[in-house]
Structure 1
C-alpha cells in the first residue's frame, strides 16, 4: 500500500493559490459597462450635419459651421457640440484602424478637433454598431475598442452610435460593448444611443448612454409621414406623439431623444418652427440643430437662440413635460421647473386659430410621476411670455389669448 505525504511542497501550493485566485476573481477580464458620469446633466445642445447635408460633409463645412455657430450667437445661447454624422469615414488600415476620408478631411480629424476646441466648442462623430453604417461606410462591429481609442486620440467629445446592418446583435449588449470601449480608451464622451427605440432603450439606456432615440428618423414636415417601404420617417407631431409614456425614464445625464431639429430647413412655417422648438424644450429633449448655420435668416436665429425657451429645456431639475389636456387638435402641456417655476405650452395642431381661456384657479395641475403640483388657487404666480419676455400679469385672473394654426405659445410661471 502506497502512502502519500499530507504535506504539499511550498512551491506547488504557491502556484495552486495563484491559479485559484486568478480564476476566482477574473478581474483582468471584467468590462466597465457604465457610461462616463457627470456629462449631459442638461440636454445636450449643438448641431448635426445629417438633416441638411446627409453624406455631403467635409472639413470646410465643419469649420464654417463652427464659425457660424459662434457668430450667430448660438454658442452664447448654449450650443456646444459640432457633430459630424455619417459618411466622414475612409478605409481601415492594415491593422484595422479607421481613418477619415482623405479627400473630404485632408487635414485629419485631430486637426479638425483642435480647431473646434479652439472655438470653445466640442466635436462629435458618428459610427454604427453594425458592419456598415447606414450610409455604407465602415461600421464599428468587431472594431469597437480600436475605434474608441482612435476617437479618444483625435479628441472626440460625443459619439452618435447608429443601428444599421446589425444582423444578430442585441442592442443592449452592443451598446454595452461600445461603452466599455470608450471607458477603456479613457476620454469622457457623451454616448448617443441611436437604435430608434426598437429595444426599449429607455429601460437599459440610462446606465449605458446619455441619450437614446425613442423613434425612427424625423422628417422635415410638421404633421405627416414619409413611407420608404420598409421603414418610415416621421413628422414633428408624429415624433411628439411617440414620446407618450416615456417621461419617467428621463433626467439629468439620461435623456429621451426624439431626434434632431428641422428648424430652418425651409419646409416648416415660422409658426411650426416655434412649435417644434417649444415642444422639444418641453420634452427636455436634446437641442441638436440640423440646418445650415451659415445661411440662417433672423427668424430662424431668433427661434434657436430664444433664451427663455432654452431655459425651459435646460432647467436643472431635468423633468420632462407632460400633456395635461387635448381637444380638437389643441393641447396644453406643463413642465415643472426649478425653484417652483412652471412652463406651460399651448400647442395648436389644428388648421384653425384657437382661443385660450384658461382659469388657473380652477385647474389643479399635478405631476404624479415627479410629485409636483401647480395649485394657483393657493399660490399666486407671475406670468411671462417665454417668446417675447413680456409680463402677462398673474394667475389671479383667467388667461385669455389666441394661438394661430400650427403654432405654440409658451409661458413661464414664477411664484409672486
Structure 2
C-alpha cells in the first residue's frame, strides 16, 4: 500500500492518466472487424484553430466585390493562384493540395456554417465539436458519440486517437473517449515510470472506488501503451515530411494507419489562424504547412495501400469578415470552406457555389451549407453509422458526397 500512497503523492502522471480511457488493451485480442483486411474505412479530422480566412484560401478571384472589400489583402490572379472551378482559385502556397485536386482527391464545400453564428473562438469551436445548435450546450462530442454508438456492449477497443497532448471535446463521448498522444514512443516512455510500472502490476482491489478506477486505468494504460508501441513498429514511413509539428502529427497518424491499427477516427490540428494583423505572411505560411503536410500524408497512405479507405476532413471554427481591417488583417467572421480529401470521393471538385458577396449578413458571409449536414454524410455514407442517433434531429446529409 505504501507504493500506492507514494505514487499518488509524488507522480504528476497519476493525475494526467486519470483521464486516459480504458480502451486499447482489448485490441490485441482481436480488434475491430473490417479494418484489418483493408475493407473498413477511417476518418482523419484536421482542425485549423483560430478561424482560417476562407476567402483567401479558396479565392473568388473574378469577383470585383472581393477586391473592393480587400484593397491590399485580396489575392490577385497574377500572384500564382491555382485555378479551380466556378471562378475560384486556391491559395498560391497550396501547390501540393492543387495536385491532389487535379487527381480528383479533393472536394471543396463553400460557405459552411450554422444559423445564428457565434464569433467566440471557444463557443464556436464547441459548437463544431459537439454538433450542437448555437443555443444548445452539449457535453459530448460528435466523434465521441460515434465511438459510443459504434461499439455498444462490445469488448473490443473501437476507439479514436488524437495526435496531441490533450483530447478535444469532439473526441469525448458519454461512455467512450479517444486517446490523446503525441506518438506511441512517448506514451510508452511515460508508462515506464518506475512507480507506475509497480502500481500497474499490483492488485487494484483497494475497496475505494476512485482508487480502484485509477489503478485499473493505470494498468490498462500501460498495456495499451505497450500495444501501440509494438504495433507502430510494424510500419516506418519512408516518405519525406516537412519539418513542422503538424507534419509530424500526420506522419504519426500515417504510421499507425499503415501499421494496421484498428482505429476508425484520428484527429489532429494546426493552429495560428487568428490573423487580425499582417495576415498575408502568417496565413500563407500556415496554408503552405497544411498543403505540404497533407501532400506527404496522402503519399504515405498511397504507399501503404490505405488512401482509398481514408477520408480527411479539414475545418475551422469560423471564417473571417469579408472586409479587411485597418491592420491588414481580418476579424472574426462566420461561414467558411470545408475540405474533404480522399481516394474514393463521389463528388470531387467544387461542390457548391462560391460565397455570395452581394448578399452579406452585416458584413459576414451567409452560410449555404449547415456543417451538421456534412457530419451526417461523413457518419452515414462514409463510416456507415446511424447519423440520426449520433447527431439527433438536424439537417439532412449531403447526398452523394462521400
Q: TM-score, normalised by structure 1?
A: 0.30
- Structure having the higher helix fraction is 2
Q: Which has the higher contact order (CA 8 A, sep 6+)?
A: 2
